[in-house]
Amino acid sequence: MFSKDKFLEDCRGAVAEGQQAVRELVREAVADPDGICRELGTPSEAGVFPLYNAPDLTVINFIWAPYMTLMPHNHNMYAVIGIYGGREDNTFWRRRADAGADEAALEAAGADSLGLGQVATLGRDIIHSVANPIAKLTAAIHVYGGDFFEPPVPRSQWDHESLVEQPWDMNATRATFRDAAARFEAGQAAGAG
Euclidean distance between CA atoms 148 and 29, whole angstroms? 20
pTM: 0.92
pLDDT digits (tens, 9 = 90+) for 1-55: 899 999 999 999 999 999 999 999 999 999 999 999 999 999 999 999 999 999 9
Give the number of other Cβ atoms within 10 Å of residue 174's Cβ. 12
pLDDT at residue 105 in the model: 82
Which among 162, 157, 155 has a CA at the least distance from the CA of 101? 162
Euclidean distance between CA atoms 83 and 102, whole angstroms? 36
pLDDT at residue 83 in the model: 98
β-bridge partners, 62: 48, 140
Euclidean distance between CA atoms 153 and 13, whole angstroms? 23
For the segment 64-85, the average pLDDT, to the nearest whole number, is 96
Residue 188, classed as helix, strand or coil, is helix
**pLDDT(96) > 90:** no
Euclidean distance between CA atoms 182 and 24, whole angstroms? 35
The values of phi and psi at residue 143, to 5°, are: -120, 130
pLDDT band at 73 (very low <50, low <70, confident <90, very high): very high
pLDDT at residue 130 in the model: 97
pLDDT at residue 154 in the model: 94
Mean pLDDT score of the chain, rounded to an integer? 93
Euclidean distance between CA atoms 138 and 85, whole angstroms? 5
Euclidean distance between CA atoms 50 and 58, whole angstroms? 8
pLDDT at residue 101 in the model: 67
The values of phi and psi at residue 53, to 5°, are: -150, 125
For the segment 135-153, the average pLDDT, to the nearest whole number, is 96
pLDDT at residue 8 in the model: 98
Fold of 4-189: Jelly Rolls (2.60.120)
pLDDT band at 104 (very low <50, low <70, confident <90, very high): confident
pLDDT at residue 189 in the model: 79
What b/e readout covers 51-88, taking b as 16+ CB neighbours within 10 angstroms? beeeeebbbbbbbbbbebbbbbbbbbbbbbbbbbbbbb
Euclidean distance between CA atoms 118 and 84, whole angstroms? 8
Residues 105 and 158 sit within 8 Å (Cβ to Cβ): yes
